[in-house]
């Protein structure tokens, strides 16, 4: 199970990068086998799908 402090740290890093438009940091956080569940959008499967959304 993931350490809650590590999860918070990654989440904080993601939010700061997202708000700053820092795509390099966002890309560094996305795994090859990612599945992104969006509350108001499609499910994105795979690194390429998520990176396309970020770009």
- pLDDT reported for residue 35: 98
Q: What's the pLDDT band for 1 if we cut at 50, 70, 90?
A: confident
pLDDT one-digit tens code per residue, 23-41: 999 999 999 999 999 999 9
**β strands within 1-55, DSSP E:** 35-36, 44-45
Task: Say how far apart CA 35 and CA 50 lie, in whole Å.
Answer: 8
pTM exceeding the 0.85 threshold for the entire prediction: no
Residues whose CB is less than 8 angstroms from the CB of residue 38 and which lie 6 or more positions away in sequence, other chains included: 44
Q: Does domain 4-54 have CATH number 3.40.640.10?
A: no
**Element counts in the chain: helices (H) and strands (E):** 3, 2
- pLDDT reported for residue 34: 97
Angle value at C-alpha 41, between 5 and 31, nearest 5 degrees: 45
pLDDT one-digit tens code per residue, 3-23: 999 999 999 999 999 999 999
């Amino acid at each position: 199970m993931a350490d809650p402090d590590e999860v918070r740290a990654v989440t904080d890093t993601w939010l700061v990068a997202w708000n700053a438009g820092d795509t390099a940091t966002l890309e560094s956080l996305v795994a090859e086998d990612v599945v992104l569940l969006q509350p108001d959008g499609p499910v994105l499967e795979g690194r390429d799908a998520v990176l396309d959304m970020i770009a």
